[in-house]
A and B are shown apart, each in its own frame.
Chain A
Amino acid sequence: MSLTLEQVRRVAHLARIEISEVEAQHTLDRLNDIFVLIEAMQAVDTKGIEPMAHAQDVAQRLRADRVTESEPFAQRTAFQAIAPETEAGLYLVPKVIE
């Protein structure tokens, strides 16, 4: 199986990565090489095998329903010091259209 240019463009858009035509073609070639490697796995019979999502077979631990934050203003100041654009405590972005 190999990918098409259109699929590369679609996936790049889903991932919100701008991609030029030249890059798309180059990426397509590389991805197809990689998918050859991945295809090795396709032929394996895995019927009845439970998918393994985690390295350990453990249950989720639960946190107590307790508020742990105590210095909201200092925290916000520290977090927003590294933000590209803020105003009145808000993170600013280009206008969101619904």
Chain B
Amino acid sequence: MIEHSLQAMARSLADREISSVELTQLYLDRIVRHNSGLNAFITVDPAASLAQARAADERLARGEGGPLTGIPIAHKDIFCAKDWLTTCGSKMLSNFVSPYDAAVISRFGEAGAVMLGKTNMDEFAMGSSNETSFYGPVRNPWDGSCVPGGSSGGSAAAVAARLAPAATGTDTGGSIRQPAALCNLSGLKPTYGVVSRYGMIAFASSLDQAGPLGRSAADCAILLNVMAGFDDRDSTSLDRQREDYCRELAAPAGNKPLAGLTIGLPEEFFGEGCSAEVTRLVEAAIAEYRKLGAETVAIRLPSMGLAVAAYYVIAPAEASSNLARFDGVRYGHRAADYRDLTDMYCKSRAQGFGAEVKRRILIGTYVLSHGYYDAYYLQAQRVRRLIARDFAEAFRQCDVILGPTSPSTAFKLGEKAADPVQMYLSDIYTIAVNLAGLPAISIPCGFASGLPAGLQLIGNYFSEARLLHAAHRYQQENPWHLQHPDGFA
């Protein structure tokens, strides 16, 4: 059952081969068995999950089930969920039981999905290794001495170890795609504005976007069908015609299912900076794409080298302001001892935030402060436009852009933790996509020394269906994604 696709799982539920309660219990049992080694979940609440499962079973019995009814889904602990502890991986919110549901949580609830638990993450989604969590690092199911990637590391580890059939994540600079790559999963960051940000604890508002982490592109399509949609509570949510992201996946395929697709290969993604083994695996995948009928064309993204710099101005700037609400007045951590109001703020925030979060708040505060705004913040926004233009130019020549997701496979726990700059550079291929607001997917493309590697497909705005299709056709012929780590029986 745990290797069933979401579609197959839904069929089993609909056919009453298994009930949602049984399926949920199956995963809860697996969490009990394996979570202590992985630390993928921050919160599980079996009673609450099983109550949802019972409700889903009733719905299924009435024949009113949808594609996700009764299926347990793990949610990144960045999504506010009513009556659930919602920590965002931070001591600051270690006592925060949310009084309301995020839009994403509501949408899964309406679809009848079962909330399986809240997954570990880098504190406030700031990190690429899941080592900044107040709740401790998450281990990579493929190699327990390695990181799962981040910031959605708990979600990725949970799905990779089959502690959840699928999970949600958020992606500000690669936080869905990079852990997907490091854990042999498929992870999609949608076009900015496709999934509501309401109730998703903000890191960098103009870059944050929620998306699915699944075992296949087909699973991601089913999840995106539930997650995507207009929400009038989010000013940046886009009011568009609903679309079925599964629509192209079921179409019968000839032997050249991707004929007519032009794939752009940016030279900036294949130079130094990427490990030889990842490059080799991605190049092998390119050959596979040609076999599927796709054409490839060399393109250039000249401003790509500036993406990390622009990102580390814009994201901390927005974060420094977004995280100002954590002041110990209305919710969250408040220091026990303080002299006066200012001291209460300073101590509560010093105690509530971890080192990386503080670092980014300080960077953000600095680049916005008087005298530095133009040189840093405005310049970063101009560079952001140059990057978006690069992509616009590239999409005149190709339909999708292909490259590695991450420059390396999973690195060792602690390897980069002391060196923020090295850590930041692990998002070098994913960050530009967030700056431009484009959709992109990471899918497995093979293994190097037993660790999975991912390739990234970047599409033009609103081309999620096309990306999922291109990923799905590859996965039909190259089932890397079906491999799963040992030791999680």
Contact = CB atoms under 8 A, between A and B. Distances in A.
Interface stretch (B261-269, B271-279, B325-333): B325-333
Nearest to B381: A51
Nearest to B82: A78
Contacts of B328: 84
A52 B341 contact: no
Contact of A82 (B97, B232, B384): B97
Interface residues of A, number: 51
Contacts of A54: 206, 236, 437
Contacts of A44: 303, 306, 379, 382-383, 386
- Interface hub of A8, A15, A33, A56 (most chain B Cβ within 10 A): A15
A42 to B, nearest CB: 7
B334 A16 contact: no
Nearest to B357: A17
A56 B99 contact: no
A68 to B, nearest CB: 10
B306 A55 contact: no
A17 B385 contact: no
B330 A17 contact: no
A79 B385 contact: no
Nearest to A50: B385
B96 interface: yes
- Interface hub of A3, A13, A82, A85 (most chain B Cβ within 10 A): A82
Contacts of B384: 51-52
Interface string A49-69: 111111110101101000000
Contacts of B95: 82
Task: Report the interface size class on chain B.
Answer: 35 or more
Contacts, number: 165
B386 A49 contact: yes
A87 B137 CA distance: 39
B111 interface: no
B177 to A, nearest CB: 16
Query: Which secondary structure dominates chain B's binding surface?
Result: helix
A81 B206 CA distance: 31
A93 B329 contact: yes
Contacts of A58: 193, 236, 238
A56 B365 contact: no
- Interface hub of A13, A37, A83 (most chain B Cβ within 10 A): A37
A94 B345 CA distance: 10
A78 B101 CA distance: 13
Contact of B421 (A34, A50, A56): A34
Contacts of B353: 17
A91 interface: yes
Contact of A40 (B99, B305, B330): B305
B465 interface: no
Given A11-B365, A30-B359, A49-B386, A61 B235 contact: yes
A97 B347 CA distance: 19
B324 to A, nearest CB: 8
A14 B99 CA distance: 30
- Interface hub of B327, B328, B353 (most chain A Cβ within 10 A): B328
25 contacts: A15-B349, A16-B324, A17-B349, A18-B343, A19-B350, A34-B359, A34-B420, A34-B424, A37-B421, A39-B309, A41-B383, A42-B375, A44-B306, A50-B385, A53-B206, A53-B381, A55-B434, A55-B436, A58-B236, A60-B235, A63-B232, A82-B331, A83-B331, A84-B328, A97-B341
Interface of A: 3, 7-8, 11-19, 27, 30-31, 33-34, 36-42, 44, 46, 49-56, 58, 60-61, 63, 78-79, 81-85, 91, 93-97
Given A18-B350, A55-B206, 16 more contacts: A7-B366, A11-B369, A15-B362, A17-B350, A18-B343, A18-B349, A38-B312, A40-B306, A40-B308, A41-B313, A61-B232, A61-B239, A83-B329, A84-B334, A94-B338, A94-B341
9 closest A-B pairs by CB: A55-B437, A51-B381, A46-B382, A55-B192, A18-B350, A18-B346, A41-B309, A52-B385, A16-B345
Interface of B: 95-97, 99, 192-193, 206-207, 232, 235-236, 238-239, 303, 305-306, 308-310, 312-313, 320, 324, 327-332, 334, 338, 340-347, 349-350, 353, 358-359, 361-363, 365-366, 369, 375-376, 378-386, 388, 419-421, 424, 434-437, 461
